Structure 1
């Protein structure tokens, strides 16, 4: 086999891989297109704001390796997060702003990893919430954020608790990505 044939085979393999990736992403976006946080038009002053936070991903609760393509939270990037008494506003760079009402927020947690990122133990803050699905169904989700310091991470958790102190989470928590992390 000469070099040109070898090169053409590898180009065909790479093209096939990228094609399958594009098809899979399009299917995921179609599957999750009906998910949405209820837009509420946050008008009150924020309890806390967090600028230039690393947004990691949104996953179903308890499934850290399954990405959910919620409109507004589809892609990893920098985000501005504002916690209000009425809810949470998230603006990921290049995505439309989303607002999650306080009655949909279920609490916070921490994790070592999510799809797309693995860090030190409890290095990712999780916002646990419910998205509305087609009809009257809801889906329990976790959106992961990587803050610059542990103090910012604690301030985020405190702001979420202050926003909705009555509502306690009834969702299962997942603070690690593997059993080996507990050792």
Structure 2
């Protein structure tokens, strides 16, 4: 065997090990975050207030935009649709199970310029902070009332403002729109 063949084999083995470690790590993250979304959809959903195409960018622990979470339905970046209803929010992303967030789970709605691995123009992302329910599958130091941030990007001009307004109205006056959600570059 010549030096190129040996080098190629070494590189292939290293790449295979790195890919295997990435897969094991992602599966561990999915198991860790499996219990985050636990809000069942209501039997009779409320009337749709606003519907818009969005891109799900990331879901992170509250005010920690560089630490990705992988909960059911929100683990990957995906295009989809947001339905703001009278009783909550439905995120229907391509390839994922729909995620329902009841109005009383919404904590705040802000804008951001970046999250984990995506930077956009100032206030180009919509950051929706919400209570994810119990954290039984998490570390002992994780609070029972886990709050996470889901970052969305509106796909049509003008939709971001409408989405923030609709979500802020749904969440109540406490969830003031605006600000940077701690993720300014």
| TM-score normalised according to structure 1 size | 0.87
Corresponding residue of 2:89: 88
Inter-CA distance 175–151: structure 2 relative to 1 (3 Å threshold): farther
Q: Does 1:151 pair with 2:158? A: yes
Contact 1:112 1:118 in 2 (8 A): yes
SS of 1:71's equivalent? coil
- What is the CA RMSD across the aligned residues, in angstroms? 2.0
Q: Pairwise mapping of residues 37-56 of structure 1 onto structure 2 (< 5 A)?
A: 37-41=38-42, 43-51=45-53, 53-56=54-57
Corresponding residue of 2:17: 16
Deviations 1:82-135 (A, max 9, x none): 011211000111110110110000121111111231111211111110101245
In the alignment, the residues of structure 1 paired with residue 108 and residue 39 of structure 2 have an alpha-carbon distance, to the nearest angstrom, of 17
| Equivalent pairs, count | 175
Structure 1: runs of 5 or more not aligned:
179-183
Structure 2: runs of 5 or more not aligned:
137-142
Deviations 1:42-86 (A, max 9, x none): 5121110112x1110100111111111111111111011101121
In the alignment, the residues of structure 2 paired with residue 40 and residue 149 of structure 1 have an alpha-carbon distance, to the nearest angstrom, of 27
Q: Does 1:30 pair with 2:37? A: no
CA offset at residue 149 of structure 1? 4.5
SS of 1:72's equivalent? coil
Runs of 4+ in structure 1 off by over 3 angstroms are: 166-169
Inter-CA distance 92–24: structure 2 relative to 1 (3 Å threshold): same
Q: Pairwise mapping of residues 1-183 of structure 1 onto structure 2 (< 5 A)?
A: 2-41=3-42, 43-51=45-53, 53-135=54-136, 137-149=144-156, 151-168=158-175, 174-178=181-185
- Which shows bigger deviation, 143-152 or 118-127? 143-152
| TM-score normalised according to structure 2 size | 0.86
Contact 1:113 1:124 in 2 (8 A): yes
